Amino acid sequence: MSTLQELTALGVGFVSVTEALDLTTPAGRAMAGLLSVFAEFERDIKRERVRAGLAHARLQRKRLGQPPTAAGKAGSVRDLFLSGISKSEIERRLGIGQTSIRRLLEEKQS
């Protein structure tokens, strides 16, 4: 809506051919306002549903976020590193990032 207001202030009229929407008329501006209100309403409803879904998942004690991929390879990382293989080579062989490798090696040292 702010972009459309800026265009109007600059003397530019907006007409959408595909939606048959002419924002140079009072009816067109009213329709744009209604569309804006409904878009905001839809976004708020979606946000509520996501929050409710996350709360439900937490109650079910489900793990949220991406699954840990490097944790299952901790033993292999440690064994390869102790055998003298570089972190970048371990990264190539196991397909996990150097940050994960460093974190796994630091966890084992603690």
Q: Scan for tokens 């905001």, then name that residue.
A: 40
Token code pair at residue 6: 């800026």
CB 86 within 8 A of CB 76: no
Within a 10 A sphere around the Cβ of 101, how many other Cβ atoms? 23
Its pTM surpasses 0.75: no
Q: Write down the pLDDT at residue 106.
A: 87
The CA distances from residue 73 to 10, 44, 76, 100, in Å, are 60, 41, 5, 10
Chain segment 37-85, per-residue pLDDT in tens: 999 999 999 999 999 999 999 999 998 887 777 888 888 999 999 999 9
The CA distances from residue 102 to 61, 72, 78, 108, 109, in Å, are 29, 15, 10, 10, 11
What average pLDDT does the segment 88-110 reach? Answer: 86
Chain segment 22-40, per-residue pLDDT in tens: 888 899 889 888 999 999 9
Count CA atoms closer than 13 A to 99's CA, side-chain side.
Answer: 1
